[in-house]
Each structure stands twice: as structure tokens, then as C-alpha cells.
Amino acid sequence: MIKVALADDQPLVRMGLRVLVEAEDDLELVGEAGNGHEVVELVRRARPDVVLMDVRMPLSDGLQALAKITSDPALSATKVVMLTTFELDEYVFEALASGASGFLIKDSDPADFVRAIRVAAAGESLLSPSVTRRVISSFTGSRPASHKPHPLLGELTDREREVLGLVGEGLSNDEIAERLVVSPATARTHVSRTMIKLQARDRAQLVVIAFQAGLVS
């Protein structure tokens, strides 16, 4: 059973999400919050597997709440999916850098929300390669690369560093395998080892690390 928490300041949005979650046999709603303060307390108390959280909320917004959740080692098992109004919301990249597992547009199809919960709970990539490319393209075009290498970047082998750059470009495991002329299983192993060495919560953070290290052109 996947435990789910909801955080949005609009009761109508929460009600819609509640209906979706409660209709699924493998999902369990463990609580709702209307602002950033409430959701942090909710996560600490209920320890959900996945939180669907609005970027913009009163008192403490979604980004501040996200930072508190992802920086707490005791909450490392909780995955956070941010909800936005626009696909390339100005806060999307910051949310990914802060440890969000991905993002969803609020007017997405109901099935997309359910799928996102399951994918995030499984620790898999919520960002599709095409969305990753659009996010990176948007931000590389609108701001200079910060080139702040991750402190553990030196732990990577040359091949893992190459794989990190390809993940940052938005390539899927199959595409990475094709580019490097290796099997998909080998590509998955490289991605997994890279994630472990860099202590990344998920694939979304690898994208941010690659961008900040200047590995994405």
C-alpha cells in the first residue's frame, strides 16, 4: 500500500485529488494540508511515501516545505511531486534542485496523477525525457550555467560522468544504451551507481547535478 499526502491551499483541488487516491486499491490517503507549515508536520507525523504538493501556498510555500522535507534524513523515504499551473513554471528547476521527484500540471489527466504517485513511490524517474529536455532547454537559455560541481563528482568514473551528462540531456536508459553501444541493463547499472555515488534522491536530481556541473550543453 502506497501512503499518500496532499498539500494544496485550494479545497476543491484537494477534494479532486482525494477522490482519485481513494478510488485506487493500492493507495492510502494519510492526510491533507492547506499550507507549507501543515504539510511538513503532516509528513513528519504520517511518513507518507509520496506527497503531491502545490508550489504556491500561504504561510510557507511549497518550495520552503520541500526543502524542509528533503533536508531531513528521517524523511528520506518520502518522495515529493510538485503541482504547478504551467509546465515550465519559474520554480520548477528550483524544485528539482531541492529534491522534488518531478512535477505535474494541475490540469493533467486524472490517470497521470495516479501514475505519478506509483512511479515516484517506486523511486523511478517521473520526468519523461521530453519534459526533461524542455526544462533544461528553458533554463540553459534563460540563465547562465552556475558550474557548481557536486562535491562528490570526483567519485565518478569517466563512464559514469559521461552517463550523468546523458541523463542531464534527458536521455532515457534505452537511449543511453544506444548512444554508448551497451545493453540497457548496463546503462541502468551505470545510472544506478551514479545516483548512489552522488547521493541523489532520484533521477531528477541527476539532471540538476549535470546542469550545475556544466555537463549539459
- CA torsion through residues 59, 62, 105, 86, sign: positive
Give me the residues of the chain with pLDDT under 50, please: none
Q: Check residue 93 and give its pLDDT.
A: 74
CATH superfamily of 2-126: Response regulator (3.40.50.2300)
Closest to 34 (Cα-Cα) out of 68, 64, 61: 61
Same CATH topology for 2-126 and 138-212: the answer is: no
Distances (CA, A) of 166 to 7, 108, 157, 177: 33, 28, 14, 10
Count, residues in the chain: 217
Q: Check residue 149 and give its pLDDT.
A: 79
Q: Check residue 141 and give its pLDDT.
A: 58
- Contact predicate 44/19, CB 8 Å: no
Strands (E), the chain: 2-7, 27-33, 50-54, 79-84, 102-105
Q: Check residue 216 and give its pLDDT.
A: 76
10 Å CB burial of residue 147 (0-12, 13-18, 19+) is exposed
Q: Check residue 50 and give its pLDDT.
A: 97
Which fold does the domain 138-212 belong to in CATH?
Arc Repressor Mutant, subunit A (1.10.10)
Domain positions in the chain are 2-126, 138-212
Q: Check residue 128 and give its pLDDT.
A: 59
Q: Check residue 207 and give its pLDDT.
A: 83
pLDDT digits (tens, 9 = 90+) for 25-64: 999 999 999 999 999 999 999 999 999 999 888 877 888 9
Question: What global pTM score does this model have?
Answer: 0.76
